[in-house]
């Protein structure tokens, strides 16, 4: 028979086991350790859960639990008790466990099921007490299962963040050079040392998505093969490439130079780093394969170390090396952005990093509709995994979500802003999960299809449209004077819930035909139309919801502008054809085809003949297979002949023939109804103006127009 351990015993055992597995050299046992409160012989003892002592550090660990998730009203008191143990612990370590290099001391409290207030967290931070919870413990356990004992230095990096460790000081011969304008050092070093300072995830404290970073960038199967290669006396002729995060960790003393020093300078490199201070750009598998390997302390690796290289340059170098390509793959950069700019001082870069991390977390969370649907750079696209990180990031990285505007360097924060990066990630995930969960549940199975036959909602364009509509809902409340940033996560999702209900229900009622039309809305213009259509759905149920531009969109649809525009364009095109062909045949007399060979540019002749051949002449001969843009090229080719007739407005040849482009742009809208775009009333008016002018030209009443303003392309605002 067996019975479960009490929660406090279970939790302490898990924490102790983690430290044991990570290879902390000395651990107390038998349910705790005793500390003398002072140096007096009759000093009373103080109990701690356990202590861990390693070469360069000593850690005092306390574990606090509750049987159910709740706020600990006596947490301040517990912090005070633990703080009182810090000095006796340091004195005991120095007295009973002396070392050649002074150890760094830390006091850590692991908690389970405890809600810790912000004030308690701030006090712990001020007193340098490290707080870790059950999620952190699970993270470190997973990390250990993936990279082995090297995970020790990741947790030590979180316990001693940014703290230089005297025991990590090392001096090695090195060559200092520059690569791409960035200072770098070449040297050889033992893997045992490099594992202490290297890291892959840029986060200051881990969560589950960081394990994904390690799993994605360090493949376990490959580690195993490389470990076998090391055991078989294999050598690595190529460099480990890394970036030392801070210049204060580096000092270079120039040595005696012999010969030409243009290629570099020889000297001695002194490193005084922290744990997790060197990001691995290339060579992750070669290095982490040494984790726990007996040869980690005897082998040497060749290293090229950059000093304080900017994050975007690190990302590009990573991609160029690992993917052997000249152009940076955008999707991988978007993933790396979360790692490289998490702590950036540039708010735009930091926000983009936070968004990237939030999206990746949604894809990893089985409780969200995005689980298994976010396509990462090295992932395989399937009917389900088809929503790119870049598309969602692009939809969220717009004004309104995080920063509404900035005046005199003072930002007005948007609905998804939070107290810190972690809070913003949590809020972003909470709101997106609530919004899309409603849509997915009410979509009548459409969301689940993904990119499969009949799908289109849970794809890049569909998700972007839904995010655009969410933004307009948030802006609706801001316009009413509601400061959404001041609401809790739950209060915010309660505000938007009715909008998601309406949108999801209507999308779920789409017929197969409407689903096909929705899926056909591709790119910026398609997303714009889809956004307006979904806004119109909500507006029909909630008339007060009226985003800027929606009324004009609805009016334009009802006005039948495309029918009017199509008639005008067809008449303009027929009139242009008549004018140009008549003039060419008059100018180039003689042979029947003289106008064709002498008046039509060679590239246009080829395109027209190719079209005739493709259609087997079913759409007529040469005169019937010109496009509007072809007419423009003919006019430019015979500019002396046509300038006075078909040159519109002022300027040179290009400027005066730009009206052909205007007509062609509008023609593409009215002749392709599947795109579901509509001419504006102003665009129809512009076509009327051009038609009136071209009819005057045809009837011999050619006059230069007084208004040569350009016709704008269809609006793409959302």
Are residues 427 and 355 in contact, defined by beta-carbon separation less than 8 angstroms?
Answer: no
d(CA 481, CA 279) in angstroms, rounded, equals 45
Tokens 């639990």 belong to 65
pLDDT at 190: 96
d(CA 253, CA 156) in angstroms, rounded, equals 29
Element (H or E) spanning 212, and its range?
helix 208-217
312/467: higher pLDDT? 467
Q: Calculate the alpha carbon distances from 140 to 143, 156, 158, 194 in Å.
A: 5, 11, 11, 20
> Residues of the chain with pLDDT > 70: what percent?
89
Count of Cβ atoms closer than 10 Å to residue 208 Cβ: 13
- Per-residue pLDDT tens digits for 80-103: 999 988 888 888 888 888 888 889
pLDDT at 323: 55
- Put simply, whether the predicted model's pTM sits higher than 0.85 gets the answer no
Average pLDDT, the chain: 87
- Per-residue pLDDT tens digits for 428-464: 999 999 999 999 999 999 999 999 999 999 999 999 9
Given a cut of 90, whether residue 597 has pLDDT beyond it is: yes
- Per-residue pLDDT tens digits for 404-419: 888 877 888 899 999 8
d(CA 223, CA 220) in angstroms, rounded, equals 5
Q: Where are the alpha helices (DSSP H) in 341-376?
A: 347-364
- Per-residue pLDDT tens digits for 279-322: 898 888 899 999 999 999 999 999 999 999 887 677 777 767 76
Across-strand partners of 108?
61, 130
Using CA atoms of 218, 224, 226, 227 in order, give the dihedral in degrees to the nearest 10.
120
Given a cut of 70, whether residue 596 has pLDDT beyond it is: yes
Across-strand partners of 301?
189
Query: Averaged over 378-390, what is the pLDDT?
Result: 89
- The confidence band for 714, taking pLDDT boundaries of 50, 70 and 90, is very low
594/682: higher pLDDT? 594
Are residues 246 and 394 in contact, defined by beta-carbon separation less than 8 angstroms?
Answer: no
Are residues 339 and 202 in contact, defined by beta-carbon separation less than 8 angstroms?
Answer: yes
In total, the chain counts a number of residues equal to 718
Are residues 499 and 545 in contact, defined by beta-carbon separation less than 8 angstroms?
Answer: yes
- Per-residue pLDDT tens digits for 139-171: 899 889 888 888 999 999 999 988 999 999 999
- Per-residue pLDDT tens digits for 312-364: 677 777 767 765 544 446 777 788 788 777 877 788 888 999 999 999 999 98
d(CA 70, CA 676) in angstroms, rounded, equals 53
The residues, ordered by sequence, that sit 6+ positions from 429 with a Cβ below 8 Å of its Cβ are 358, 361, 362, 365, 368
- The confidence band for 702, taking pLDDT boundaries of 50, 70 and 90, is low
Domains within the chain, CATH numbers bracketed:
7-159 (3.40.1350.10), 166-309 (no CATH), 335-557 (no CATH), 561-698 (no CATH)
- Per-residue pLDDT tens digits for 613-648: 988 888 888 999 999 999 999 999 999 999 999 999
Conformation bin of residue 9: beta by default, left when phi > 0, alpha when psi is -120 to 50:
alpha
Across-strand partners of 374?
387
Whole-number CA gyration radius for the chain: 34
> Residues of the chain with pLDDT > 90: what percent?
57
């Amino acid at each position: 028979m067996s019975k479960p351990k009490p929660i406090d015993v279970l939790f302490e055992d898990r924490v102790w086991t983690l430290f044991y597995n990570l290879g902390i050299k000395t651990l107390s046992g038998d349910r705790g350790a005793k500390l003398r409160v002072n140096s007096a012989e009759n000093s009373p003892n103080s109990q701690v859960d356990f202590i861990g002592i390693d070469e360069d550090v000593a850690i005092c660990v306390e574990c606090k639990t509750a049987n159910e998730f709740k706020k600990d009203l006596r947490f301040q008191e517990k912090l005070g008790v633990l703080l009182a143990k810090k000095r006796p612990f340091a004195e005991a370590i120095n007295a009973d466990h002396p070392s050649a290099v002074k150890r760094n001391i830390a006091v850590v409290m692991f908690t389970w099921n405890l809600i810790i207030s912000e004030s308690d967290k701030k006090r712990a931070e001020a007193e340098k007490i490290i707080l870790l919870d059950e999620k952190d413990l699970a993270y470190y356990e997973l990390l250990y299962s993936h990279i082995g004992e090297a995970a020790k230095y990741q947790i030590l990096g979180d316990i001693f963040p940014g703290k230089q460790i005297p025991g990590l000081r090392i001096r090695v011969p090195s060559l200092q050079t520059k690569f791409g304008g960035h200072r770098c050092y070449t040297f050889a070093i033992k893997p045992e040392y490099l594992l202490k300072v290297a890291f892959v995830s840029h986060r200051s404290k881990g969560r589950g998505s960081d394990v994904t970073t390690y799993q994605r960038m360090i493949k376990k199967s490959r580690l195993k093969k490389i470990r076998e290669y090391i055991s078989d006396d294999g050598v690595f002729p190529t460099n480990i490439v890394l970036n030392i995060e801070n210049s204060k960790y580096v000092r270079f003393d120039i040595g005696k130079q012999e010969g030409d020093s243009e290629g570099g300078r020889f000297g001695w490199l002194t490193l005084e780093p922290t744990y997790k201070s060197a990001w691995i750009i290339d060579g992750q598998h070669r290095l982490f394969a040494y984790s726990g390997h007996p040869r980690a302390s005897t082998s040497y690796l060749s290293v090229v170390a950059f000093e304080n290289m900017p994050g975007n340059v690190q990302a590009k170098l990573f991609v160029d090396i690992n993917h052997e390509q000249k152009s940076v793959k955008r999707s991988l950069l978007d993933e790396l952005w979360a790692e490289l700019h998490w702590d950036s001082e540039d708010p735009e870069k930091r926000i983009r990093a936070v968004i990237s991390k939030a999206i990746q977390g949604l894809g990893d969370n089985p409780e969200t509709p995005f689980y298994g649907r976010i396509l990462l750079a090295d992932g395989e696209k399937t009917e389900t995994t088809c929503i790119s990180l870049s598309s969602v990031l692009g939809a969220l990285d717009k004004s309104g979500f995080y920063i509404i505007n900035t005046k005199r360097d003072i930002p007005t924060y948007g609905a998804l802003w939070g107290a810190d990066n972690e809070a913003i990630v949590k809020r972003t995930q909470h709101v997106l999960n609530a919004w899309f969960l409603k849509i997915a549940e009410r979509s009548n199975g459409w969301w689940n299809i993904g990119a499969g036959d009949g799908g289109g909602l849970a794809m890049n364009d569909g998700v972007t449209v839904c995010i655009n509509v969410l933004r307009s809902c948030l802006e609706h409340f801001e316009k009413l004077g509601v400061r959404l940033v001041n609401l809790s996560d739950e209060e915010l999702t309660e505000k938007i819930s009715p909008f998601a209900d309406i949108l999801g229900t209507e999308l779920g009622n789409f017929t197969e035909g409407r689903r096909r039309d929705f899926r056909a809305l591709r790119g910026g213009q398609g997303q714009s139309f889809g956004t307006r259509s979904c806004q119109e759905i909500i507006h029909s149920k909630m008339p007060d919801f009226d985003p800027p531009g929606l009324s004009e969109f609805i009016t334009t649809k009802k006005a039948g502008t495309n029918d009017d525009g199509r008639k005008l364009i067809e008449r303009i095109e027929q009139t242009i054809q008549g004018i140009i062909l008549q003039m060419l045949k008059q100018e180039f007399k003689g042979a029947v085809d003289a106008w064709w060979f002498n008046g039509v540019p060679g590239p246009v002749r080829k395109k027209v003949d190719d079209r005739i051949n493709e259609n087997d002449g079913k759409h007529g001969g040469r005169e019937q297979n010109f496009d509007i843009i072809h007419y423009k090229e003919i006019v430019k080719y015979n500019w002396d002949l046509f300038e006075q007739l078909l040159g519109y407005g002022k300027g040179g040849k290009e400027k005066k023939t730009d009206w052909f482009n205007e007509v062609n742009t509008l023609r593409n809208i009215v002749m392709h109804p599947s795109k579901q775009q509509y001419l504006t009333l102003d665009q129809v008016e512009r076509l009327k103006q051009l038609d009136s002018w071209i009819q005057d030209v045809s009837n011999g009443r050619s006059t230069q127009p007084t208004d040569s303003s350009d016709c704008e392309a269809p609006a793409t605002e959302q």
